[in-house]
Amino acid sequence: MLTEAQVQRSFRKLFSKTDFNDDQFAKADELLEELRPESPLRHRLTQELDELRKMASSRQ
């Protein structure tokens, strides 16, 4: 199990570039699964991931 700091760091690295793909989204979902369901970080990153998915779909 990863710590919250490790998950956050990995999440930021995944999306450090502006061109997103399905593989990145799948890895981000896996990272979020490492966090407790009640974690505030999980909630925040889930919202960010939803926004990133919307941005990626609007670019295509």
Average pLDDT over residues 16-34: 94
What tens digit of pLDDT does each residue of 34-59 get? 999 999 999 999 999 999 999 999 98
So what's the pLDDT on residue 19?
Answer: 84
Number of structural domains, the chain? 1
Q: Which domain holds residue 40?
A: 4-59
Q: What is the pTM of this model?
A: 0.90
The stretch 20-42 carries a mean pLDDT of 96
**Mean pLDDT along residues 10-29:** 94
Query: 51 vs 3, 35, 45, 54, CA distance in Å?
Result: 23, 19, 10, 5
